[in-house]
Chains A and B, each alone.
Chain A
Amino acid sequence: MRLAPRAAHGATAESPAARLAITVIALLFLALFLVVPAVAVVAEAFSEGVRVFVAAITEPDARSALQLTLLAAAIAVPLNMVFGLAAAWAITRFHFRGKGLLVTLIDVPFAVSPVIGGLVFVLLFGARGAFGSWLDAHGIRVIFAVPGIVLATAFVTFPFVARELIPFMQALGSDREEAAVILGASGPQTFLRVTLPSIKWGLLYGVILCNARAMGEFGAVSVVSGHIRGQTNTLPLHVEVLYNEYSFAAAFAVSTLLLALALLTLLAKRFLEWRIERQLARTNGIRERAR
């Protein structure tokens, strides 16, 4: 959560010159690394005219890449929502052996390079992988096919929901759930009527972040995809293919789709942050006043 900006007036206040310098550095950095590239993407996308832009994003391969990206996210995100909820619930509400290990393992996809994440699936399900011959015998394709892309996407995005929910659920405490159970609520009733309403904004926040990463993932998906145009290319992979073919305008046009998705995500994220701050202020406000 944000720190109070009022801190600047306290004992740690810097001189006006220093404050100006620090702010300018931060803004310059932001401009150089975020604004300039974003503007460049859009400018490049329209450099050969609107018609080229529209053609690039409506041609069948681009449409199929967009569909695949949305499909992978549509499967991976709900999966990780369920996993994240279960993991956060277990970690914040139960006491069990190996909990520390679970907390650490959740972060593996953050720690490991996505390429390795992709390679793991190739090693497991590829033609020469552990389950490769069995899958082959049953005519199931995982690697260089849609299931592999979904798996790789799910792998790189699985920490988001749990990571967001764990501190949130810890801050809320378990009093309300205990109150519900004592009042006679069953497990599902407690979850649906008490837990879910109180964590919904935190959950949604995690889902949004998870979704952003799912749609933008390149490394892991690239390894398992095989880059078959119109079949196993997601939007980021399609951009790479176009770029390698020197179709710069088309590559940037497709990039604007990803950029638009990112901006939508940021807006949703900002709105949710505001809701969460309000909710936590409300629940903790009671405790503060209580003291």
Chain B
Amino acid sequence: MKPAIEARGIRKCFGRYPALDDVSVAVQPGELVALLGPSGSGKTTLLRIVAGLETADAGTVFYGGEDVTHRPVRERNVGFVFQHYALFEHLNVFENVAFGLRVRRVPERLVQERVSQLLELIRLDHLARRLPAQLSGGQRQRVALARALAPSPRLLLLDEPFGALDAKVRQELREWLRRIHGELDVTSLFVTHDQAEAFEIADRVVVMNAGRVVQIGTPTQVYETPADAFVVDFLGKANRLTGEVRGGVGHFLGLRVPCHMPDGAAQAWLRHADLDVAREPGPPGSTLPARISRVSRIGPIVKLDLHVDGMRAPVGAEVTPEQAAALAFERGHTVHLRPRRVRVYPMPAPQPSAPAQAPRRSGLLGFLRSRKPRPA
């Protein structure tokens, strides 16, 4: 089966800054794929190139095996959802959703039918006559999604669709997008910088950094076997220890970790959730002594902030409230950390200074936006 979306060897520079450097991504029909990365990683640029809103300097974009690299945006039949909704403020909810049908001169009867059906799907049929300004953020984004879906697009592309919403609405919309995707079975690609969001709703995740694809895999694959130190770091809640590898054993402060790596400087990553915390030390080399500097209860877990001799950065660990109560952890206690799983990576080669922040958009608008704050 041909992939529904394939981007092959995409390159894009904004001025002298390379936003995308030989990026290739494929999305299978019916998949929901997340482009995940920090700001400036090129994920939005890639999405805009796939949509045709931006042109690549090099590379090819295929929809279902068909080369669409030079096809105008309006003939591509894709749905696009913007971070800030981009609703037509002068049109009511119904007319916003109907826009894509009206410009195609779809007969009025079919417009009425299709829009009503979509408004029902997004559960806003009772607000059809409202203007966008009279809706909440979550409602607006639902209208934007219905508008994108109205012309039955072959693909659905979403640019940080929930980035502008508050936590609770975000959570609702995530579940809701997942459900809609399941019902409509439209191939979808969405951009996010939130790993929890990507893991929760995507079938597969494309992790990007500095204009390159770092890893592609299911949420489980990406979480269990991160391709490199960047991915572990970006997924968060992990501690980094520096040390070295000698004869197949990594030495990181007091820890000894067997690993298959050539001798030399190395870094070890220990996830907060992968650390057992005990009052007594284990066999030599298997535990790390630490002092508790803070205990905080975060919902169903207890987070410990710890100080480890020889490390400047605080070390984090997560335990269950039951464990915390049983061992009576308090600030100032000395404990011993036993990592259940350690990921060892070579130290990164010294890189040429990376740009601080990529321009999000090309063209004058991006330039002006980067210089001038929006009027309040």
Q: Judge whether A282 is part of the interface by a CB distance below 8 angstroms.
A: yes
| Interface pair B165/A280, CB less than 8 Å apart | no
Separation of A194 and B89 alpha carbons in the complex (Å): 9
| Interface pair A175/B82, CB less than 8 Å apart | yes
Separation of A236 and B210 alpha carbons in the complex (Å): 63
Chain A residue nearest in CB terms to B86: A175
Contacting residues, chain A, for B73 (C-beta < 8 A): 178, 181-182
Contacting residues, chain A, for B79 (C-beta < 8 A): 182
| Interface pair A182/B74, CB less than 8 Å apart | yes
| Interface pair A99/B364, CB less than 8 Å apart | yes
Interface residues of B in 89-143 (CB under 8 A from A): 89-90, 99-100, 103-104, 132-133, 137, 140
Q: Judge whether B372 is part of the interface by a CB distance below 8 angstroms.
A: yes
Q: Which of B84, B133, B150 is close to A287, meaning CB atoms less than 8 Å apart?
A: B84
| Interface pair A184/B151, CB less than 8 Å apart | yes
Q: Judge whether A54 is part of the interface by a CB distance below 8 angstroms.
A: no
Q: Judge whether B78 is part of the interface by a CB distance below 8 angstroms.
A: yes
| Interface pair A182/B89, CB less than 8 Å apart | no
Q: Which of A170, A280, A290 is close to B164, meaning CB atoms less than 8 Å apart?
A: A290
Q: Which of A176, A181, A280, A290 is close to B74, meaning CB atoms less than 8 Å apart?
A: A181
Tell me the minimal C-beta distance from A254 to chain B in angstroms: 41
| Interface pair B363/A284, CB less than 8 Å apart | no
Separation of A240 and B263 alpha carbons in the complex (Å): 95
Separation of A198 and B165 alpha carbons in the complex (Å): 24
Q: Judge whether B376 is part of the interface by a CB distance below 8 angstroms.
A: yes
Chain B residue nearest in CB terms to A283: B89
| Interface pair B137/A286, CB less than 8 Å apart | yes
Q: Which of under 10, 10 to 19, 20 to 34, or 35 or more describes the interface residues of A? A: 35 or more
- With contacts A174-B365, A185-B103, A287-B374 taken as known, whether A179 is within 8 angstroms of B89 at the C-beta atoms is no
Interface readout for A167-193 with B: 1 if CB under 8 Å, 0 if not?
Answer: 000110111101111111110010001
Tell me the minimal C-beta distance from A178 to chain B in angstroms: 6
Separation of A182 and B54 alpha carbons in the complex (Å): 12
Separation of A198 and B91 alpha carbons in the complex (Å): 10
Q: Which of A91, A176, A189 is close to B86, meaning CB atoms less than 8 Å apart?
A: A176
| Interface pair B103/A183, CB less than 8 Å apart | yes
Contacting residues, chain A, for B84 (C-beta < 8 A): 173, 175, 286-287, 290
Contacting residues, chain B, for A182 (C-beta < 8 A): 51, 53, 73-74, 76, 78-80, 148
| Interface pair B86/A178, CB less than 8 Å apart | yes
Q: Judge whether A98 is part of the interface by a CB distance below 8 angstroms.
A: no
Q: Judge whether B212 is part of the interface by a CB distance below 8 angstroms.
A: no
Binding site for B on A (CB under 8 A): 1, 91-95, 99, 170-171, 173-176, 178-186, 189, 193-194, 197-198, 279-280, 282-291
**A176-B87, A182-B73, A185-B103 known, 20 other contacts, Cβ within 8 Å:** A92-B368, A94-B364, A95-B362, A171-B374, A173-B84, A174-B365, A175-B84, A179-B80, A181-B73, A183-B74, A183-B99, A183-B103, A183-B147, A193-B99, A193-B103, A198-B89, A279-B89, A283-B89, A285-B133, A286-B133
